[in-house]
Amino acid sequence: MPSATVKLFETITFPLFNAFGYAITPAELGACMTEETLKTKEDYIAPSLRGRPGRTPPDESAKITRKITALAMCVGIFFAVTKFFVWRETNSIGMLSSLVHSGLDLFASFSSFMAVRYAVQAPDGNYRFGRGKVESFAAVLQVCLIIVAAFHLLGESIGHLEHPEPVTQSSLAIGAMLLFIAISTWLLIAQGWAIRETGSIAVRGDRAHYLADLVANVFVIIGIVFAVYTPFTRADTIVGILMALWLFFTAYRLTRLAWAQLMDMELPDEERDLIVKLAMSDPAVVAVHDLRTRASGPHIHIQMRLDLDSKLSLSGAHDVIIEAEQRMMQVYKAADILIHPHPTGCQETHGNVRFREDD
C-alpha cells in the first residue's frame, strides 16, 4: 500500500477509534496485521472471524458494547426530539415517517443498552452458560417494534395518499435531514467497528435500525423535493409507503439473526472446519467426533469428542486436551470449551444416540 495512502488512513481512522475508547496505535495495528498474515500461512486457511461472536475477550467486548449502545441512545434522543419539531413546522408525511422510525430507534437502542450490560455478566450457579441470549431476546423485541411501526406508518401513508397535505418549510426539512444523514453515517461507522470486534447481535440489530433511518432520510429528501418542486404532489406520501416496506424487510433480517442464536444453530461450516483443524493439529489426536457449537451473545460454546491413542496415560490425555483447548482459545477468546477424550479402538458410545453425529 503506498505510504501516502497509509498516512491518510491513519490520520482519519485512529482519532475516531480513540474517541470511542478503542485505544490503538499504528504500531499496534501493524502488529495485528502481521500476526494475522502469519496465521494464514499455517497448514489451514482460517476463515474471516470479523463480526463473529467469541473472538474478543468478554471484558473487552463488554467495554465496547457498553460505549456504543450509550452513544446510540444519545443519537436516538437527539433525532427523536429534533424530528418532532421539524415535523410540526413542515407537516411532511415523510418527516413523520422518519420521526416514527427515530422513536423506534430510541426504544430499540434502550433495549440494546440494557441487554448488552446484562449479557456480559459472568456465569453463576443459576446461569452456568452465561446470559448471552438476552441479546437475542432484545433483537426479538426490536422486531416486534419494527412490525408495529411499519403497520402504523403504512396506514398513515395510505390515508395521506387519499387526502394529500401540502409540505411547508421544505428548506428547513431538507437541511435537518442532511444533518441527520451526517450523524447517522458517523454512528454507523462506529457501530460497524463494534460489530466487527464483538459480533454482538444486539448492536447489529441496533445498527439495522439506524441504517434504515439513514436510507429513510435520503428518501424523505427526495420525496420533499418532488412534492414541492414538481407536479407530483403525492411523492412525499409514496416515500412513507416505501419506508414501511423497508421496515418489514429490516424485521425479516433481524428475525433470522435472533432465530439462529435462540435455536442454538451451529456455527458456519468454515468455522467448524477451523475448530476441527485446530484440534487435529496435534499428532496425538486421531479424530474429532460429535462436534457441537453454538453462539450465545458475545460467547460461543464448543463441545467435542477427541479420539486419542489408547496407550496414553490419563495424565498424557489430559495434557493433549489442555493444549487443544488453548489452541482454540487463541482464536475464540470468549469460548466455553468441553472436550471428552475417547480411546481409539473402544466401541462403547457415550450419551443419548439421538444427539450423536453419524460417523
How far, in Å, CA of 215 to CA of 236, rounded? 14
Nearest Cα to Cα of residue 21 among 58, 57, 67, 56: 67
Query: At which residue does the C-alpha cell 457415550 appear?
Result: 350
> pLDDT confidence of 30, banded at 50, 70, 90?
very low
Give per-residue pLDDT as tens, 275-287.
Answer: 999 999 999 999 9
Q: Is 181 helix (H, G, I), strand (E, B) or coil?
A: helix
Mean residue pLDDT across the chain: 77
Residue 101 pLDDT exceeds 50: yes
The answer to whether the CB of 300 falls within 8 A of the CB of 53 is yes
Q: Where in the chain is the domain with CATH 1.20.1510.10?
A: 58-262
CATH architecture of 269-355: 2-Layer Sandwich (3.30)
CATH of 58-262, one of 1.20.1510.10, 2.60.40.10, 1.20.810.10, 3.40.190.10: 1.20.1510.10
Task: Pick the most confident of 6-15, 146-155, 248-257, 328-337.
Answer: 328-337
Residue 36 pLDDT exceeds 60: no
Residue 47 pLDDT exceeds 50: yes
What are 208's three cell numbers? Answer: 439495522
pTM exceeds 0.75 for this model: no
Q: Where in the chain is the domain with CATH 3.30.70.1350?
A: 269-355
The answer to whether the CB of 154 falls within 8 A of the CB of 239 is no
Residue scoring higher pLDDT (238 or 339): 339
